[in-house]
């Protein structure tokens, strides 16, 4: 059963969450608490759908790896406690670790800051045949860095070049060009913004504070960043508006209900990879001959 069949809407999920007209994109118009038209009673079924999605993804990944032509880059961006880690864990749970890599990006090191802002991300891109996941990404350089421009530090030699409107527009342009370059070279890019509400974040923070086994997930800086909520929302809206392209779409995923987030992401990823028309490499007549010879030798042993 497909997840879409679970929902009463006839349109595919990808379509409902894909940002198609960046210029008109308004974060305030999308609902973080959206459960599509599903109720709590559908929760167990959504888990089934997630399981089917991850199973399908595992099979597709096997072919992706064997064919060795395409790579897939999944980008996850979100406020703290929106569920990035859990979504990555669940969606990729069936996938062969050999064909998959997760890169988490934190505060850049001194060495990283000495390079152009895309450098550290370029080094982590997935090779052909592999799925690469960016847990945070170069989008942080137009999100956290836009909210706290002092982070730019010594980046760019001339002070007058830093932090103005033109500066951010050029970063969006650079990102779009970088992504187009990757797509032209055989990378499929899907970008997910897990859209959690401020209320739900508060609940999840409280949960992290209350449960000792979750304490480690909480850092005092999370509270500080929560204080900049509106600035972040503006930065996200601007970034999504400027970088929703045909070649590298953004999906704004409702994130107040984890079961919805996970099932929707699994469905979108599976469908996108399915769209690649993957196949196992064909065995040539010559290779077949070699295989037959090998078989003969083994039989004769
Ligand atoms: P977490 O993912 O919760 O472990 O936190 C990682 C932290 O690194 C977050 O506070 C991010 O905002 C921060 N971070 C990630 N990328 C950058 C960047 N390019 N510049 C500054 N801070 C960043
Ligand atoms: Mg954190």
Tell me how far apart the alpha carbons of residues 246 and 275 are, in angstroms, rounded to a whole number. Answer: 15
Q: Is the pTM of this model over 0.85?
A: yes
- Please provide the average confidence, as pLDDT, over all residues in the chain: 91
Burial of 156 (0-12, 13-18, 19+ CB in 10 A): middle
- Ligand with minimal distance to 219 CA: 2
CB 130 within 8 A of CB 99: yes
Determine the pLDDT at residue 11. Answer: 41
Query: What's the mean pLDDT in 93-120?
Result: 94
- The band of 228, judged by pLDDT with boundaries at 50, 70 and 90, is very high
Determine the pLDDT at residue 2. Answer: 57
Alpha-helical segments (H) within 114-155: 119-122, 144-147
Selection from 44, 38, 30, 234 nearest residue 147 by Cα: 234
Helices and strands (H, E) in the chain, number of each type: 13, 5
Q: Is 144 in the pocket of ligand 1 (CB under 6 A)?
A: yes
* Greater pLDDT, 175 or 151: 175
Alpha carbon 105 to chain centroid distance? 13
Mention every residue, 6+ apart, whose C-beta is less than 8 A from residue 230.
none
Q: Is 141 in the pocket of ligand 1 (CB under 6 A)?
A: yes
Atom of ligand 1 nearest to the CA of 106: 8
Would you say residue 131 has pLDDT above 60? yes
Would you say residue 25 has pLDDT above 90? yes
CA of 210 to the centre of ligand 2 (A): 16
CA of 119 to the centre of ligand 1 (A): 16
> Which residues pair with residue 3 across a beta bridge?
none
């Amino acid at each position: 059963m497909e997840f879409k069949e679970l929902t009463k809407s006839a349109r595919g999920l990808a379509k409902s969450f894909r940002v198609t007209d960046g210029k008109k994109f308004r974060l305030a118009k999308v609902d973080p608490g959206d459960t599509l038209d599903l109720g709590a009673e559908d929760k167990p079924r959504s888990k089934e759908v997630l399981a089917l999605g991850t199973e399908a993804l595992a099979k597709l990944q096997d072919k992706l790896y064997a064919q060795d032509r395409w790579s897939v880059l999944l980008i996850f961006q979100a406020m703290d406690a929106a569920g990035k880690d859990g979504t990555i864990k669940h969606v990729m749970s069936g996938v062969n670790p050999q064909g998959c890599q997760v890169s988490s990006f934190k505060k850049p090191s001194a060495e990283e800051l000495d390079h152009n802002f895309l450098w550290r991300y370029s080094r982590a891109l997935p090779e052909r045949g592999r799925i690469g996941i960016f847990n945070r990404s170069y989008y942080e350089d137009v999100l956290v860095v836009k909210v706290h421009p002092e982070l730019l530090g010594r980046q760019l030699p001339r002070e007058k070049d830093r932090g103005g409107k033109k500066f951010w527009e050029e970063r969006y342009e650079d990102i779009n060009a970088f992504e187009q370059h990757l797509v032209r070279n055989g990378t499929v890019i899907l970008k997910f913004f897990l859209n959690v509400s401020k209320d739900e974040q508060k609940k999840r923070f409280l949960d992290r504070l209350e449960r000792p086994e979750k304490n480690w997930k909480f850092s005092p800086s999370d509270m500080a960043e929560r204080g900049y909520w509106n600035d972040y929302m503006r930065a996200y809206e601007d970034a999504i508006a400027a970088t929703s392209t045909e070649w590298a779409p953004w999906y704004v995923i409702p994130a107040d209900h984890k079961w919805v987030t996970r099932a929707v992401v699994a469905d979108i990823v599976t469908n996108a990879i399915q769209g690649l028309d993957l196949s196992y490499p064909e065995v040539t007549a010559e290779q077949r001959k070699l295989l037959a010879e090998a078989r003969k030798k083994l039989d004769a042993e």
